Amino acid sequence: MEISERELRRMVADSDDQHRAAMDTFTEDNRGLIFETAPSRRKFLAGLGFGSAAVVVGSAVLPMGRLMPRAWAQSAPSDSDIATFAASVEYAAVAAYTAAAKSGLIKTPAVLQAATTFAGQHQQHGDAFKAAGTNPNVMANKGVLDSVTPQLMAAKTENDVVALAYGLENAAAATYIFALGVLNNDKAYNAVASVMPVEAQHAIALGFVLGKTLDDKTFMPSFETADGHVDPAKNPAA
Amino acid sequence: MDINNDELRRELRDLDKEHREVMPKWRDSLRRLMDDKETPTEAKADLLLGGFNRRRFMNLSGLAVVGGAVLAACGSDKKNSSSSNGSTASTAATTATTAAAAKTDQTIARTAASLENFAVAVYDKAIMNAAALKISDPVAKAAVLFKSQHTEHASAFNAAATQLGGQPYTDPNPTAAKAFEATIAALKTEQDVLKLAFGLEQIAAQTYQGVGMKLSTPMLRQTSMTVGGVEARHMAILAHFITPPMTVPAAAFQMTDKAIDASFYV
C-alpha cells in the first residue's frame, strides 16, 4: 500500500515536533552538566564532585557511605565542618603510622624515622584542622581506620606497610584538592592549601622507598587531582 | 504524488539503524568529555553548546563575569534564588567588584603561565647543556619530565587566562628571568642545577598556595593547587638528588615566604 504525500508530510511534521521537544532541554541539560561538573558544596556532600565512586587506600576500596554526620544529609557542610572532617582524616593517618611503627615490620631505620616524622606532621595537621573546625573532640576517621586496619594486620613486609602509607598520603592529597573546590574562608583555605603539598611530598618520599619511577602517574602526575579522595559523604567525622 | 510505502519503511528503518549505531558512541564521547579533568569547563561548553554559553552571553551583555561565582549565582541552585534579588543600588558596586576580581584572576593566571614558561626555559637550558654540566641520566630524565609538565601547566594557566577574558602569556616571566640571570649563567655542575631547580620549584609551589585567596572562586584556587601540588612533588624529587641530603617536607605546613610578590605580575 502506498501512502499519500499529505500523510508523509504529517508523519514527518510529528517526528520533527518530537525531536524539537527533546532538543529543547538538551542544551539546558548539557549546560547544567557542564557548569555543575565542578564540585559544588552540595556535591561535596554527596561525594559527586570529582570523586570516583570509591576511594582506594592502600589496596582496599574504601566503602563510601557511613561517615558523614546525619546532619550533613539535611544541609551542605560549612567550611568548619569540612575542617573537622579533614582533622578526622589526619588523626586516622596518625593512628595508621603509629600502628605501622609498632608493627615491627619496618626494619629500615630511615623508613622508621620517616614514619615517626610523618606521624608527627599529621598530628599537627589534625590539630590545625580541629582548631578551624566545629568539633573540638573530633577523633580519627572511622571509615579510614576500618579500611586501613585490616590491611595493616595483613601486612607481612616493610614494603606492604609502606605501600599502605603511600596510598593514604595520595588519598589525603586528593581529598584536599577536592575540598579546595568548595572552601570559601581564609582560615579553612590556608589550612588545606598548606597541608596538601606536604601530603604530596610524603607520597614522594614513600614512593622512593617503594622504587616508584617517574612514569608512574600516582607518583609524579602532571596535575594533582581529586581522584581517590576520601569522600566525607561516606566517611564522616565522628 | 504518492510515495511507495515499502520504500519509505526501508528508508526509515535505515535511518533508525544509523541513529542507534551513532548514539552509543555519542554517549560515550559525552561521558569522556565530562570526565576529562583537564579540559577546561569553557572548552567543554563551547564544544557542546556551539560556542554560545552563559558566560559569553553575559559578557556580550556588558556584565563582567568572574570564574564560577556568577555561574553558581545564576545556576540552578533554587535555594539561593530568593536571595539573588539584590537591589539595583548594589548592582553597580557588585559589577565593579566583579570586574576587579576578574582582572585579578586574569593577572594571576597570566603570571602563573609566565612562571611556568620560565621554568621550561631553565630546564631546557639544563637539558641542552647536560653534557657540559655532567648531568646524570636520572637527573636528566627528571629534567625532561619536569620541563614537559611545566609546559602543560603553562597551557593550563593560559587557558584559564583566556577563559577569564584575558590574553595568554607565552614568554618567560621577565622579572624572574632578570632575577636569576646571573645564577643561570654561573651554572657549572649538576648540583648547581639541582639547587636552582629546587629553589624555583619551591617559589612556584608557595606562589600557587599564596595566591589562593586572591583568586575569586574556589574553583580557581583548586586549579592553582592542582599545579602547586605537583611543584611540591618536583621539590621532593629534586631534593632526593641534592647533596648533602635535604629533608622534604622540612615542616608540617608549607609556608608562603618564598612566594612571588606583585613585582612579578604580568
pLDDT digits (tens, 9 = 90+) for A110-163: 999 999 999 999 999 999 999 999 899 999 999 999 999 999 999 999 999 999
Burial of B237 (0-12, 13-18, 19+ CB in 10 A): buried
Same domain (yes/no): B56, B110: no
Same domain (yes/no): B136, B71: no
pLDDT digits (tens, 9 = 90+) for B244-254: 989 899 999 99
CB contact under 8 A, A225 and B219: no
Q: Indicate whether A218 pLDDT > 70.
A: yes
Same domain (yes/no): B150, B107: yes
* Residue B33 banded pLDDT, cuts 50, 70, 90: low
* Residue A26 banded pLDDT, cuts 50, 70, 90: very low
Q: Indicate whether A52 pLDDT > 50.
A: no
Set of cell numbers at residue A113 = 624515622
Q: Is B149 on the interface with A (CB under 8 A)?
A: yes
CATH number at residue B216: 1.20.1260
Same domain (yes/no): B197, B239: yes
- Would you say residue B160 lies in a domain? yes
Which pLDDT score, from 0 to 100, does residue A65 have? 34
Q: Indicate whether B199 pLDDT > 80.
A: yes
How distant is the alpha carbon of residue B161 from its chain centre? 8
Segment B145-169 mean pLDDT: 97
- Taking only Cα atoms into account, the Rg of chain B, rounded to an integer number of angstroms, comes to 25
- Would you say residue B213 lies in a domain? yes
Which pLDDT score, from 0 to 100, does residue B53 have? 34
Same domain (yes/no): B138, B238: yes
Going by the DSSP 8-state scheme, the letter that residue A55 receives in this structure is E
Set of cell numbers at residue B239 = 631534593
**What is the b/e burial string over B224-236, where b = at least 16 CB atoms within 10 angstroms of the residue's CB?**
bbbbbbbbbbbbb
Q: Does the model's ipTM exceed the 0.85 cut? A: no
* Residue A55 banded pLDDT, cuts 50, 70, 90: very low
Burial of B153 (0-12, 13-18, 19+ CB in 10 A): buried
* Residue A69 banded pLDDT, cuts 50, 70, 90: very low
Interface test with B, best of A9, A121, A222, A227 (most B CBs within 10 A): A222
Domain residues for the domain of B65 are 5-77
Smallest Cα distance from B213 to chain A, Å: 7
Which pLDDT score, from 0 to 100, does residue B61 have? 32
3-state secondary structure of A90: helix
CA dihedral A159, A217, A67, A85 (to 10 degrees): 100
CB contact under 8 A, A200 and B44: no
CB-CB: which of A177, A202, A220 is closest to B225? A177
Higher pLDDT, A35 or B82: B82
- Would you say residue B69 lies in a domain? yes
**Taking the alpha carbons of B192, B194, B197, B198 in that order, is the dihedral positive or negative?**
negative
Q: Indicate whether A6 pLDDT > 90.
A: no
User: Among all chains, which residue has been given the C-alpha cell 653534557?
Assistant: B131
Same domain (yes/no): B72, B196: no
- Would you say residue B117 lies in a domain? yes
- Would you say residue B89 lies in a domain? no
**pTM of this prediction?**
0.73
- Would you say residue B255 lies in a domain? yes
Higher pLDDT, B65 or B123: B123
Same domain (yes/no): B109, B30: no
A27 neighbourhood in chain B, CB within 8 Å: 49
Number of Cβ atoms within 10 Å of the Cβ of A22: 9
Same domain (yes/no): B114, B220: yes
3-state secondary structure of B95: helix
Segment A45-73 mean pLDDT: 42
CB contact under 8 A, B76 and A32: yes
How distant is the alpha carbon of residue A76 from its chain centre? 17
Which pLDDT score, from 0 to 100, does residue A171 have? 96
Q: How many contacts, defined by CB atoms under 8 Å, are there between A and B?
A: 169
- Region of residue A64 (phi > 0: left; psi between -120 and 50: alpha; otherwise: beta): beta
Same domain (yes/no): B216, B177: yes
Same domain (yes/no): B151, B215: yes
Same domain (yes/no): B61, B108: no
User: Among all chains, which residue has been given the C-alpha cell 552563559?
Assistant: B54
Same domain (yes/no): B175, B223: yes
- Would you say residue B92 lies in a domain? no
CB contact under 8 A, B41 and A27: no
Tell me the residues of chain B between 78 and 137 that have a Cβ less than 8 Å away from chain A: none
Higher pLDDT, B1 or B107: B107
Q: Tell the CATH topology of A41-210.
A: Ferritin (1.20.1260)
